[in-house]
Chain A
Amino acid sequence: MNKDMEARRQELLNQGYEEVYTRTKVLTDAVMHYCPGCGHGTTHRLIAEVIDEMGIQDNVVGVSPVGCSVLAYNYFDVDFQEAAHGRAPAVATAIKRLNPDTFVFTYQGDGDLAAIGTAETIHAANRGENMTMIFVNNGIYGMTGGQMAPTTLVGMRSATTPYGRRVDLNGYPLRMTELLSTLPGTYYVTRQSVQNPAAVRKAKAAIRKAFENQKLKKGLSFVEILSNCNSGWKMTPVAANKWMEDNMMPNYPIGDIKVDGKICEGIDANRLVLDHPLTVMQ
Protein backbone atom coordinates (compact mmCIF):
# COMPACT_ATOMS: atom_id res chain seq x y z
CA MET A 1 0.00 0.00 0.00
CA ASN A 2 1.63 3.26 -1.09
CA LYS A 3 1.34 6.66 0.60
CA ASP A 4 -1.62 7.89 -1.47
CA MET A 5 -3.56 4.74 -0.71
CA GLU A 6 -2.70 4.92 2.99
CA ALA A 7 -3.92 8.54 3.08
CA ARG A 8 -7.13 7.57 1.30
CA ARG A 9 -7.63 4.70 3.74
CA GLN A 10 -7.25 7.03 6.73
CA GLU A 11 -9.68 9.45 5.13
CA LEU A 12 -12.30 6.71 4.71
CA LEU A 13 -11.81 5.43 8.26
CA ASN A 14 -12.26 8.99 9.57
CA GLN A 15 -15.50 9.26 7.59
CA GLY A 16 -16.91 6.28 9.53
CA TYR A 17 -16.18 3.54 7.02
CA GLU A 18 -15.18 0.17 8.39
CA GLU A 19 -12.65 -2.06 6.72
CA VAL A 20 -14.29 -5.06 5.04
CA TYR A 21 -11.33 -6.51 3.23
CA THR A 22 -7.69 -5.69 2.76
CA ARG A 23 -4.64 -7.62 1.56
CA THR A 24 -3.31 -9.80 4.35
CA LYS A 25 0.10 -9.08 5.87
CA VAL A 26 1.11 -12.73 5.53
CA LEU A 27 1.62 -12.08 1.83
CA THR A 28 4.78 -10.13 1.07
CA ASP A 29 4.75 -6.96 -1.03
CA ALA A 30 6.44 -8.79 -3.92
CA VAL A 31 4.44 -8.69 -7.15
CA MET A 32 3.47 -12.24 -8.09
CA HIS A 33 4.93 -13.41 -11.38
CA TYR A 34 1.75 -15.28 -12.33
CA CYS A 35 -0.10 -14.36 -15.51
CA PRO A 36 -2.97 -11.89 -15.06
CA GLY A 37 -6.08 -13.71 -13.82
CA CYS A 38 -4.28 -16.91 -12.76
CA GLY A 39 -5.92 -18.92 -9.99
CA HIS A 40 -2.55 -19.37 -8.27
CA GLY A 41 -2.71 -15.78 -7.00
CA THR A 42 -6.14 -16.31 -5.47
CA THR A 43 -5.06 -19.59 -3.89
CA HIS A 44 -1.94 -17.97 -2.41
CA ARG A 45 -4.12 -15.24 -0.98
CA LEU A 46 -6.53 -17.75 0.60
CA ILE A 47 -3.73 -19.74 2.24
CA ALA A 48 -2.19 -16.52 3.58
CA GLU A 49 -5.56 -15.38 4.95
CA VAL A 50 -6.11 -18.73 6.67
CA ILE A 51 -2.64 -18.54 8.25
CA ASP A 52 -3.41 -14.98 9.34
CA GLU A 53 -6.81 -15.87 10.83
CA MET A 54 -5.44 -18.89 12.69
CA GLY A 55 -2.55 -16.80 14.05
CA ILE A 56 0.05 -19.44 13.13
CA GLN A 57 2.37 -17.28 11.02
CA ASP A 58 5.35 -18.08 13.29
CA ASN A 59 4.58 -21.78 13.36
CA VAL A 60 3.99 -22.82 9.78
CA VAL A 61 6.32 -24.24 7.14
CA GLY A 62 5.37 -24.41 3.48
CA VAL A 63 6.97 -26.59 0.85
CA SER A 64 7.00 -25.18 -2.66
CA PRO A 65 7.12 -27.37 -5.77
CA VAL A 66 8.55 -27.06 -9.24
CA GLY A 67 6.17 -25.59 -11.78
CA CYS A 68 4.44 -22.24 -12.08
CA SER A 69 4.41 -21.91 -8.29
CA VAL A 70 8.14 -22.62 -7.90
CA LEU A 71 8.64 -19.11 -6.52
CA ALA A 72 5.82 -19.40 -3.97
CA TYR A 73 8.33 -18.81 -1.14
CA ASN A 74 8.74 -15.22 -2.36
CA TYR A 75 5.11 -14.40 -1.72
CA PHE A 76 4.43 -15.83 1.75
CA ASP A 77 5.92 -14.23 4.83
CA VAL A 78 6.34 -17.65 6.48
CA ASP A 79 9.07 -20.29 6.55
CA PHE A 80 9.42 -22.12 3.28
CA GLN A 81 11.41 -24.96 1.83
CA GLU A 82 11.88 -25.64 -1.86
CA ALA A 83 11.70 -29.31 -2.85
CA ALA A 84 12.94 -31.24 -5.88
CA HIS A 85 10.39 -31.75 -8.63
CA GLY A 86 7.50 -33.79 -7.26
CA ARG A 87 9.17 -34.48 -3.91
CA ALA A 88 7.33 -31.90 -1.83
CA PRO A 89 5.31 -34.53 0.14
CA ALA A 90 8.52 -36.36 1.06
CA VAL A 91 10.20 -33.15 2.24
CA ALA A 92 7.05 -32.12 4.10
CA THR A 93 6.94 -35.55 5.77
CA ALA A 94 10.42 -34.99 7.20
CA ILE A 95 9.60 -31.47 8.38
CA LYS A 96 6.39 -32.62 10.03
CA ARG A 97 7.96 -35.63 11.73
CA LEU A 98 10.81 -33.56 13.14
CA ASN A 99 8.48 -30.73 14.20
CA PRO A 100 5.18 -32.40 15.07
CA ASP A 101 3.59 -29.21 16.38
CA THR A 102 4.42 -27.13 13.33
CA PHE A 103 1.77 -26.66 10.68
CA VAL A 104 3.17 -28.00 7.41
CA PHE A 105 1.67 -27.61 3.97
CA THR A 106 2.74 -28.40 0.44
CA TYR A 107 1.64 -26.31 -2.49
CA GLN A 108 1.79 -28.22 -5.77
CA GLY A 109 0.50 -28.08 -9.31
CA ASP A 110 -0.70 -30.95 -11.46
CA GLY A 111 2.63 -31.47 -13.21
CA ASP A 112 4.34 -31.78 -9.85
CA LEU A 113 1.82 -33.68 -7.77
CA ALA A 114 0.07 -35.81 -10.40
CA ALA A 115 2.90 -36.52 -12.84
CA ILE A 116 6.48 -36.70 -11.57
CA GLY A 117 5.46 -36.81 -7.90
CA THR A 118 2.66 -39.39 -8.05
CA ALA A 119 4.60 -41.94 -6.01
CA GLU A 120 5.48 -39.46 -3.26
CA THR A 121 1.91 -38.18 -3.17
CA ILE A 122 0.29 -41.59 -2.94
CA HIS A 123 2.72 -42.88 -0.33
CA ALA A 124 2.49 -39.75 1.81
CA ALA A 125 -1.29 -40.16 1.72
CA ASN A 126 -1.08 -43.87 2.39
CA ARG A 127 1.20 -43.32 5.40
CA GLY A 128 -1.37 -40.85 6.67
CA GLU A 129 1.13 -38.05 7.20
CA ASN A 130 -0.45 -35.39 9.34
CA MET A 131 -0.09 -32.44 6.99
CA THR A 132 -1.99 -30.37 4.42
CA MET A 133 -1.54 -30.70 0.69
CA ILE A 134 -2.84 -28.01 -1.64
CA PHE A 135 -3.13 -29.25 -5.22
CA VAL A 136 -3.75 -26.65 -7.92
CA ASN A 137 -5.15 -28.37 -11.00
CA ASN A 138 -5.36 -26.49 -14.29
CA GLY A 139 -5.12 -29.47 -16.62
CA ILE A 140 -1.97 -28.34 -18.38
CA TYR A 141 1.76 -27.75 -17.87
CA GLY A 142 1.56 -23.99 -17.62
CA MET A 143 5.17 -23.01 -16.96
CA THR A 144 6.81 -24.97 -19.78
CA GLY A 145 4.42 -23.77 -22.47
CA GLY A 146 1.11 -25.60 -22.22
CA GLN A 147 1.99 -29.27 -22.81
CA MET A 148 -0.38 -32.11 -21.96
CA ALA A 149 -0.54 -33.03 -18.28
CA PRO A 150 -1.97 -36.24 -16.77
CA THR A 151 -5.01 -34.15 -15.82
CA THR A 152 -5.62 -32.77 -19.35
CA LEU A 153 -9.19 -33.51 -20.42
CA VAL A 154 -10.04 -35.92 -23.22
CA GLY A 155 -10.26 -33.84 -26.41
CA MET A 156 -8.47 -30.86 -24.88
CA ARG A 157 -5.89 -29.16 -27.10
CA SER A 158 -2.42 -28.53 -25.74
CA ALA A 159 1.04 -27.97 -27.23
CA THR A 160 1.73 -31.72 -27.35
CA THR A 161 -1.85 -32.76 -28.25
CA PRO A 162 -2.66 -30.21 -30.98
CA TYR A 163 -5.67 -32.21 -32.22
CA GLY A 164 -6.97 -32.91 -28.72
CA ARG A 165 -6.07 -35.59 -26.18
CA ARG A 166 -6.95 -39.05 -27.45
CA VAL A 167 -7.74 -41.89 -25.07
CA ASP A 168 -6.19 -44.54 -27.33
CA LEU A 169 -2.93 -42.61 -27.54
CA ASN A 170 -2.67 -40.59 -24.32
CA GLY A 171 -4.86 -42.44 -21.84
CA TYR A 172 -7.38 -41.03 -19.39
CA PRO A 173 -7.21 -37.91 -17.21
CA LEU A 174 -5.87 -38.78 -13.77
CA ARG A 175 -8.19 -37.82 -10.94
CA MET A 176 -5.87 -37.64 -7.97
CA THR A 177 -8.46 -36.44 -5.50
CA GLU A 178 -10.78 -39.41 -6.04
CA LEU A 179 -7.77 -41.73 -6.04
CA LEU A 180 -6.45 -40.43 -2.71
CA SER A 181 -9.89 -40.52 -1.08
CA THR A 182 -9.85 -44.33 -1.37
CA LEU A 183 -6.71 -44.54 0.79
CA PRO A 184 -7.26 -45.03 4.53
CA GLY A 185 -4.52 -42.54 5.42
CA THR A 186 -6.42 -39.49 4.21
CA TYR A 187 -8.65 -37.66 6.68
CA TYR A 188 -10.08 -34.84 4.58
CA VAL A 189 -10.24 -34.83 0.78
CA THR A 190 -12.03 -32.14 -1.16
CA ARG A 191 -12.08 -30.38 -4.52
CA GLN A 192 -12.78 -26.66 -4.76
CA SER A 193 -12.38 -23.90 -7.33
CA VAL A 194 -11.64 -20.17 -7.34
CA GLN A 195 -13.49 -18.70 -10.32
CA ASN A 196 -16.16 -16.62 -8.54
CA PRO A 197 -16.71 -15.08 -5.07
CA ALA A 198 -18.89 -17.93 -3.78
CA ALA A 199 -16.38 -20.56 -4.89
CA VAL A 200 -13.52 -18.58 -3.34
CA ARG A 201 -15.29 -18.42 0.03
CA LYS A 202 -15.92 -22.18 -0.05
CA ALA A 203 -12.32 -22.85 -1.04
CA LYS A 204 -11.14 -20.73 1.87
CA ALA A 205 -13.33 -22.67 4.30
CA ALA A 206 -11.90 -25.92 2.92
CA ILE A 207 -8.30 -24.71 3.32
CA ARG A 208 -9.11 -23.57 6.86
CA LYS A 209 -10.49 -27.01 7.69
CA ALA A 210 -7.44 -28.67 6.14
CA PHE A 211 -5.14 -26.63 8.41
CA GLU A 212 -7.31 -27.14 11.51
CA ASN A 213 -7.19 -30.91 10.92
CA GLN A 214 -3.46 -30.91 11.62
CA LYS A 215 -4.26 -30.26 15.29
CA LEU A 216 -6.21 -33.55 15.40
CA LYS A 217 -3.28 -35.65 14.09
CA LYS A 218 -5.60 -38.00 12.23
CA GLY A 219 -4.10 -38.04 8.74
CA LEU A 220 -3.57 -36.18 5.51
CA SER A 221 -5.78 -33.28 4.47
CA PHE A 222 -5.89 -32.84 0.72
CA VAL A 223 -7.45 -29.85 -1.03
CA GLU A 224 -7.59 -29.76 -4.81
CA ILE A 225 -8.21 -26.31 -6.26
CA LEU A 226 -9.42 -26.17 -9.85
CA SER A 227 -7.76 -23.22 -11.50
CA ASN A 228 -7.73 -21.65 -14.92
CA CYS A 229 -4.62 -21.36 -17.09
CA ASN A 230 -5.55 -18.56 -19.44
CA SER A 231 -2.12 -18.43 -21.11
CA GLY A 232 -1.96 -22.19 -21.66
CA TRP A 233 -5.58 -22.41 -22.77
CA LYS A 234 -5.14 -19.32 -25.01
CA MET A 235 -8.11 -17.44 -23.60
CA THR A 236 -8.85 -14.25 -21.68
CA PRO A 237 -9.07 -14.79 -17.90
CA VAL A 238 -12.85 -14.33 -17.86
CA ALA A 239 -13.33 -16.72 -20.80
CA ALA A 240 -10.98 -19.22 -19.16
CA ASN A 241 -13.06 -19.19 -15.98
CA LYS A 242 -16.20 -19.82 -18.06
CA TRP A 243 -14.44 -22.62 -19.98
CA MET A 244 -13.39 -24.19 -16.69
CA GLU A 245 -16.98 -24.20 -15.45
CA ASP A 246 -18.24 -25.72 -18.71
CA ASN A 247 -15.54 -28.33 -19.33
CA MET A 248 -13.40 -28.98 -16.25
CA MET A 249 -16.18 -29.22 -13.71
CA PRO A 250 -18.13 -32.11 -15.36
CA ASN A 251 -14.92 -34.18 -15.24
CA TYR A 252 -13.70 -32.86 -11.91
CA PRO A 253 -16.85 -32.41 -9.81
CA ILE A 254 -16.60 -29.80 -7.06
CA GLY A 255 -17.26 -30.69 -3.44
CA ASP A 256 -16.11 -32.64 -0.40
CA ILE A 257 -15.31 -36.29 -1.08
CA LYS A 258 -14.05 -37.41 2.32
CA VAL A 259 -14.69 -35.53 5.56
CA ASP A 260 -13.40 -36.63 8.97
CA GLY A 261 -12.08 -39.87 7.55
CA LYS A 262 -15.39 -40.97 6.03
CA ILE A 263 -16.51 -40.88 2.39
CA CYS A 264 -19.32 -38.31 2.10
CA GLU A 265 -22.89 -39.41 1.51
CA GLY A 266 -23.96 -39.22 -2.10
CA ILE A 267 -20.51 -39.93 -3.48
CA ASP A 268 -20.95 -42.67 -6.03
CA ALA A 269 -18.66 -45.64 -5.44
CA ASN A 270 -18.08 -45.85 -9.19
CA ARG A 271 -16.66 -42.34 -9.15
CA LEU A 272 -14.00 -43.46 -6.73
CA VAL A 273 -12.78 -46.48 -8.69
CA LEU A 274 -12.41 -44.27 -11.74
CA ASP A 275 -14.39 -46.37 -14.22
CA HIS A 276 -17.07 -43.75 -14.86
CA PRO A 277 -17.69 -42.63 -18.47
CA LEU A 278 -15.66 -39.50 -19.10
CA THR A 279 -17.24 -36.49 -20.73
CA VAL A 280 -15.52 -35.87 -24.05
CA MET A 281 -15.06 -32.23 -24.97
CA GLN A 282 -16.60 -30.97 -28.19
Chain B
Amino acid sequence: MAFKGQIIIDTEHCKGCGVCVPVCPMKCIELSKEVNGKGYNFTHTVNDSCIGCASCAMVCPDGVISVYKKKI
Protein backbone atom coordinates (compact mmCIF):
# COMPACT_ATOMS: atom_id res chain seq x y z
CA MET B 1 0.00 0.00 0.00
CA ALA B 2 1.40 3.30 -0.94
CA PHE B 3 0.31 6.76 -0.13
CA LYS B 4 0.41 9.90 -2.18
CA GLY B 5 0.61 13.13 -0.25
CA GLN B 6 0.09 16.80 -0.87
CA ILE B 7 1.11 19.71 1.33
CA ILE B 8 -0.27 23.22 1.39
CA ILE B 9 2.17 25.84 2.62
CA ASP B 10 1.06 29.20 3.95
CA THR B 11 3.91 30.97 2.17
CA GLU B 12 3.06 34.40 3.58
CA HIS B 13 3.46 33.13 7.16
CA CYS B 14 6.52 30.95 6.47
CA LYS B 15 9.68 32.40 8.02
CA GLY B 16 12.08 30.36 5.89
CA CYS B 17 13.89 28.72 8.82
CA GLY B 18 14.45 25.59 6.72
CA VAL B 19 13.92 23.12 9.59
CA CYS B 20 11.48 21.15 7.42
CA VAL B 21 13.99 20.67 4.58
CA PRO B 22 16.37 18.08 6.14
CA VAL B 23 13.58 16.12 7.87
CA CYS B 24 11.68 15.34 4.63
CA PRO B 25 12.39 11.65 3.83
CA MET B 26 11.51 12.12 0.15
CA LYS B 27 13.53 15.33 -0.30
CA CYS B 28 10.57 17.10 -1.86
CA ILE B 29 10.82 20.40 0.07
CA GLU B 30 13.30 23.18 -0.53
CA LEU B 31 13.59 26.85 0.25
CA SER B 32 12.46 29.01 -2.64
CA LYS B 33 14.72 31.56 -4.28
CA GLU B 34 11.80 33.97 -4.25
CA VAL B 35 10.77 35.82 -1.10
CA ASN B 36 7.39 36.46 0.51
CA GLY B 37 5.97 39.79 1.69
CA LYS B 38 8.25 39.84 4.73
CA GLY B 39 11.39 39.01 2.76
CA TYR B 40 11.77 35.39 3.84
CA ASN B 41 12.73 32.63 1.40
CA PHE B 42 9.64 30.53 1.93
CA THR B 43 9.44 26.74 1.66
CA HIS B 44 8.01 25.14 -1.47
CA THR B 45 7.69 21.66 -2.93
CA VAL B 46 10.10 20.78 -5.71
CA ASN B 47 8.83 17.38 -6.84
CA ASP B 48 5.83 15.08 -6.67
CA SER B 49 7.24 12.40 -4.36
CA CYS B 50 5.42 13.48 -1.14
CA ILE B 51 4.04 10.52 0.85
CA GLY B 52 2.06 12.56 3.38
CA CYS B 53 4.16 11.55 6.41
CA ALA B 54 3.70 15.00 8.01
CA SER B 55 7.30 15.15 9.26
CA CYS B 56 7.60 18.69 7.89
CA ALA B 57 4.41 19.76 9.64
CA MET B 58 5.60 18.19 12.91
CA VAL B 59 8.76 20.29 13.11
CA CYS B 60 7.37 23.54 11.66
CA PRO B 61 7.57 26.12 14.46
CA ASP B 62 4.92 28.31 12.86
CA GLY B 63 2.49 25.58 11.81
CA VAL B 64 2.26 26.83 8.23
CA ILE B 65 2.18 23.37 6.62
CA SER B 66 -1.04 21.38 6.14
CA VAL B 67 -0.70 17.77 5.03
CA TYR B 68 -3.15 15.62 3.02
CA LYS B 69 -2.77 12.07 1.75
CA LYS B 70 -4.64 9.32 -0.08
CA LYS B 71 -4.09 5.66 -0.91
CA ILE B 72 -3.01 4.82 -4.42
Interface residue tally of chain A, by bracket? 35 or more
- Give the size of the chain B interface in residues (CB under 8 angstroms): 32
Q: B59-72, CB under 8 A of A: which get 1 and which 0? A: 11111111111100
In contact, B58 and A200 (Cβ under 8 angstroms): yes
In contact, A42 and B59 (Cβ under 8 angstroms): yes
Q: A1-27, CB under 8 A of B: which get 1 and which 0? A: 110010011001101111111111001
In contact, B10 and A5 (Cβ under 8 angstroms): yes
Q: Give 26 pairs: A residue, B residue, CB < 8 Å, sorted on A.
A: A1-B10, A5-B66, A8-B8, A9-B66, A9-B68, A18-B68, A20-B5, A20-B54, A20-B67, A21-B65, A21-B66, A37-B18, A37-B19, A37-B61, A40-B61, A41-B61, A42-B59, A45-B60, A194-B59, A195-B59, A196-B59, A197-B55, A200-B58, A236-B18, A237-B19, A238-B21
Q: A80-94, CB under 8 A of B: which get 1 and which 0? A: 000000000000000
Contacts of A34 in B (CB 8 A): 61
Q: For A23, A31, A35, A195, which residue has the most chain B Cβ atoms within 10 angstroms?
A: A23
Q: How far is the CB of A36 from chain B (nearest CB, A)?
A: 4
Other A-B pairs, 14, CB within 8 Å; known A31-B13, A42-B59, A241-B19? A1-B10, A8-B8, A12-B68, A18-B69, A20-B5, A20-B57, A20-B69, A23-B64, A36-B17, A38-B61, A41-B63, A238-B18, A238-B19, A238-B22
